[in-house]
């Protein structure tokens, strides 16, 4: 009995001593902080992303940021929803050529407790200036295809990345045809007899886009001017060519076909005409301004319409733009025929594949070296 009274007395004394300073402890656990915080810059915005902890219990997130060198972080946003266990925030209140630091915390509004991410990310914002506007845009009209090309002045920007090619459609504004890192683009949706209008923009690796280039127009048409071949290394199915005797025959075939008169190849030294079985080529090409100068041609027009009758070789010839080349080939009748090609341009299309656009003529009369009046001439 005495012992009990003593214990109660001791407890009472202890409570009396603490009567002026009663403290209630909150047994709630702090929220689980966000994990794998990452930051990056694109198109005048810093993108932050983080993942939910496995112990996340529906808390919201607070985003804190500051310029590098600032004394303290500021609360800049609160994020309340995430998608597929990943959360994000886009900070557009930024200045070019400046570095920013961020961290994110999980915030429990019911308890006021907050847990910061273990990571603090640092993102440097580059200059907002885009690459130069592409210059010298023009269109080479082909058969049911337009080849859009332009100058390489935009590459003067150190952070240049790619071009965007647009088609202007009446009443619908401009539509994006595609993107390329080459100064050329094949629009194979173009239709013969229909004029298409194009413009191009340049873009850097951070998504800054230049103003629109001047527009250029092209109208595809079916004829023997503007034939298109791909280099065998890039597209072997469309790298071979055989002079046809009928406009109903497709002259483009596989570069490995035994029926080819020649195929196009490319290496570090340039574009090459590689002769096929039974084909010979005059080893020297000639600079010309047209495949054939007609009645209405300019006085300065220069062509090559009479093929040499000797001096042909079985050899590969390095091609030059605006040069005409003479070939002696075996026709469908098994006899020798003459044909000519004039290289209109050598370049690359949007995937980086090497191409040649050329005009051609073929003399269907065996042994006749004249290209005047020949098919396509």
pLDDT, position 296: 62
With contact defined as beta carbons under 8 Å apart, do 165 and 126 qualify?
no
Separation between Cα atoms, residue 180 and residue 351, nearest integer Å: 7
Strands 262-267 and 270-275: antiparallel
Q: Is the dihedral of CA 356, 292, 145, 253 positive or negative?
A: negative
List pLDDT tens digits, range 142-179: 888 899 999 999 999 999 999 999 999 877 789 999 99
DSSP string for residues in 200-243 = EEEEETT--BPPPPPPEEE----SSSSEEEE-TTT-GGGSEE--
Domain annotation for the chain: domains and CATH numbers = 35-125 (2.60.40.10), 138-218 (2.60.40.10), 227-362 (no CATH)
With contact defined as beta carbons under 8 Å apart, do 68 and 100 qualify?
yes
With contact defined as beta carbons under 8 Å apart, do 125 and 96 qualify?
yes
Look at the pTM and tell me if it is higher than 0.75: no
Confidence of residue 9 (pLDDT cuts 50, 70, 90): very low
List pLDDT tens digits, range 104-148: 999 999 999 999 999 999 999 999 999 999 999 999 888 888 999
Separation between Cα atoms, residue 117 and residue 107, nearest integer Å: 11
List pLDDT tens digits, range 281-339: 999 999 999 998 865 667 789 999 899 999 999 999 999 999 999 999 999 999 999 99
pLDDT, position 93: 95
pLDDT, position 25: 43
List pLDDT tens digits, range 328-342: 999 999 999 999 999
Provide, rounded to the nearest whole percent, the portion of the chain with pLDDT above 70.
Answer: 90
Instruction: Identify the bridge partners of residue 197 per DSSP, sorted by sequence position.
Output: 168, 217
Provide, rounded to the nearest whole percent, the portion of the chain with pLDDT above 90.
Answer: 76
pLDDT, position 225: 85
Separation between Cα atoms, residue 39 and residue 69, nearest integer Å: 18
């Amino acid at each position: 009995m005495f012992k009990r009274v003593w214990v109660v007395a001791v407890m009472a004394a202890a409570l009396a001593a603490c009567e002026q300073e009663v403290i209630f402890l909150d047994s709630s656990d702090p929220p689980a902080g966000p994990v794998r915080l990452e930051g990056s810059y694109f198109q005048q915005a810093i993108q932050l992303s983080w993942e939910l902890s496995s112990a996340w219990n529906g808390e919201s997130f607070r985003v804190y940021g500051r310029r590098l060198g600032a004394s303290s972080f500021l609360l800049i946003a609160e994020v309340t929803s995430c998608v597929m266990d990943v959360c994000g925030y886009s900070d557009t209140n930024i200045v070019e050529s400046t570095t920013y630091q961020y961290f994110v915390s999980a915030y429990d509004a019911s308890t006021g407790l907050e847990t910061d991410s273990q990571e603090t990310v640092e993102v440097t914002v580059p200059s907002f200036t885009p690459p130069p506007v592409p210059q010298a845009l023009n269109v080479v009209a082909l058969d049911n295809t337009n080849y859009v090309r332009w100058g390489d002045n935009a590459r003067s920007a150190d952070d240049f990345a790619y071009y965007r090619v647009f088609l202007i459609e009446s009443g619908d504004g401009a539509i994006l045809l595609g993107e390329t890192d080459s100064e050329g683009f094949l629009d194979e949706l173009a239709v013969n007899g229909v004029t298409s209008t194009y413009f191009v923009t340049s873009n850097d690796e951070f998504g800054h886009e230049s103003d629109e280039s001047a527009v250029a127009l092209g109208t595809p048409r079916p004829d023997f001017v503007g034939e298109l071949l791909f280099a065998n290394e890039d597209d072997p199915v469309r790298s071979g060519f055989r002079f046809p005797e009928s406009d109903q025959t497709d002259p483009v075939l596989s570069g490995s076909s035994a029926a080819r008169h020649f195929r196009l190849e490319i290496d570090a030294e340039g574009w090459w005409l590689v002769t096929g079985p039974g084909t010979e080529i005059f080893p020297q090409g000639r600079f010309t301004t047209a495949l054939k100068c007609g009645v209405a041609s300019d006085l300065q027009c220069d062509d090559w319409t009479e093929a040499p009758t000797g001096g042909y070789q079985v050899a590969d010839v390095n091609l030059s733009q605006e040069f005409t080349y003479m070939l002696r080939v075996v026709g469908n009748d098994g006899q020798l025929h003459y044909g000519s090609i004039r290289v209109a341009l050598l370049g690359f299309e949007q995937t980086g594949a090497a191409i040649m656009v050329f005009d051609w003529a073929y003399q269907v009369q065996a042994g006749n070296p004249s290209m005047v009046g020949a098919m396509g001439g």
